[in-house]
């Protein structure tokens, strides 16, 4: 694990800084955390270990879909938002990082940057550990205290992932930014009904605004809308990587996809919002 990334991590038991020694992270009070053979470290506390996050099948489907480039315009917009708000090398956290795809693009877009890819899924963490040498992979729960030191990050990312505004505020520097990607109600709309996918509700973006309002103010909003041509394998992957995977068996999914055209023009529709922390006096 890269020392510069390890230097941003905090002990989940006492919140103190962690030292990197061989294959262990160690705090001054003697709490120690092994770096797994696959390169990630688990800093999850007892309660988090009950949440498993995405399954191996979901993570593999996401990797297939993202590697095919269907969401590249979204990744480009995220990387662009990160670079526009960077002053020198960035220290970037992605919470719910999945395969690390977006974090990798963000880290490579700003020279000499480091990243922490955090996910509650160990399967995801294994992939994150392999994606880029400047990215550290950490297993932790977004809804607990994040195992990150106060005020140390220039950027936080939340891409289709849980948002804990209080904790992100704590770990971001005063001049840092929080880049958030949320789907609109048009996202994948051609697939929602035929494949019984979970619908994005129209209120979601408004509720995100409400949840962030006390701690952050939005400084940029970039809508990303385009048409993708998806074949059966891509349709399969996009359903299997999301929450809809829990609602439909792989066999039923294959039957429904067989009833659709071989190639389907499908809408991608996402908003990339960039937030700055509000100062306590605002």
- Per DSSP, the three-state class of 152 is coil
- Per DSSP, the three-state class of 36 is coil
Comparing C-alpha atoms, which of 277, 251, 72, 257 is closest to residue 168?
A: 277
Residues 6+ apart with CB under 8 A from 191: 197, 230, 235, 238, 239, 264, 266
Among Zn ion, ligand SAM, none, residue 103 binds (CB under 5-8 Å by kind): none
**Cβ closest to Zn ion, residue 29 vs residue 252:** 29
CB of 155 to Zn ion, least distance (A): 26
**Cβ closest to ligand SAM, residue 95 vs residue 129:** 95
**Cβ closest to Zn ion, residue 31 vs residue 276:** 31
Closest residue to Zn ion using C-beta atoms: 11
Query: Contact residues for Zn ion (CB under 5 A)?
Result: 11, 13-14, 16, 27, 29, 31
Among ligand SAM, Zn ion, none, residue 13 binds (CB under 5-8 Å by kind): Zn ion
Among ligand SAM, Zn ion, none, residue 27 binds (CB under 5-8 Å by kind): Zn ion
Based on its alpha-carbon atoms, the radius of gyration of the chain, rounded to whole angstroms, reads: 19
Query: Contact residues for ligand SAM (CB under 6 A)?
Result: 51, 53-54, 62, 95-99, 101-102, 119-121, 124, 141-143, 159-162
Task: List strands edge to edge, sheet with 91-95.
Answer: 40-42, 135-139, 114-119, 91-95, 153-159, 172-183, 263-277, 216-231
CB of 42 to Zn ion, least distance (A): 14
Structure tokens at 78: 């995220």
Pairing state of beta strands 153-159 and 172-183? parallel
Among Zn ion, ligand SAM, none, residue 120 binds (CB under 5-8 Å by kind): ligand SAM
- Per DSSP, the three-state class of 19 is strand
Among ligand SAM, Zn ion, none, residue 31 binds (CB under 5-8 Å by kind): Zn ion
**Cβ closest to ligand SAM, residue 3 vs residue 51:** 51
């Amino acid at each position: 694990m890269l020392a510069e990334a390890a230097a941003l991590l905090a002990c989940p038991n006492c919140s103190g800084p962690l030292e990197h020694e061989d294959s262990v992270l160690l705090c001054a009070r003697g709490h120690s955390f092994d770096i797994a053979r696959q390169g990630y470290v688990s800093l999850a506390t007892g309660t988090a270990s009950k949440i498993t996050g995405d399954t191996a099948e979901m993570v593999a489907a996401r990797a297939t879909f993202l590697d095919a480039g269907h969401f590249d315009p979204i990744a480009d917009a995220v990387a662009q938002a990160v670079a526009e708000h960077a002053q020198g090398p960035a220290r970037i956290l992605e919470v719910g990082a999945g395969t690390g795809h977006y974090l990798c693009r963000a880290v490579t877009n700003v020279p000499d940057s480091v990243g922490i890819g955090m996910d509650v899924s160990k399967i995801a963490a294994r992939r994150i550990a392999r994606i880029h040498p400047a990215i550290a992979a950490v297993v932790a729960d977004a809804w607990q205290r994040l195992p990150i030191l106060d005020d140390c990050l220039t950027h936080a990312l939340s891409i289709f992932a849980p948002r804990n505004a209080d904790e992100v505020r704590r770990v971001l520097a005063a001049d840092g930014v929080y880049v958030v990607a949320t789907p609109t109600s048009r996202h994948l709309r051609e697939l929602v009904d035929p494949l019984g996918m979970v619908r994005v509700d129209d209120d979601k973006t408004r509720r995100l605004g409400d949840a962030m309002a006390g701690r952050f103010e939005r400084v940029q909003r970039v809508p990303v809308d385009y048409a993708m041509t998806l074949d059966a394998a891509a349709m399969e992957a996009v359903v299997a990587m999301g929450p809809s995977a829990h609602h439909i068996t792989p066999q039923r999914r294959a039957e429904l996809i067989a009833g659709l055209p071989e190639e389907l023009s499908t809408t991608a529709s996402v908003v990339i919002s960039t937030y700055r922390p509000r100062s306590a006096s605002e």
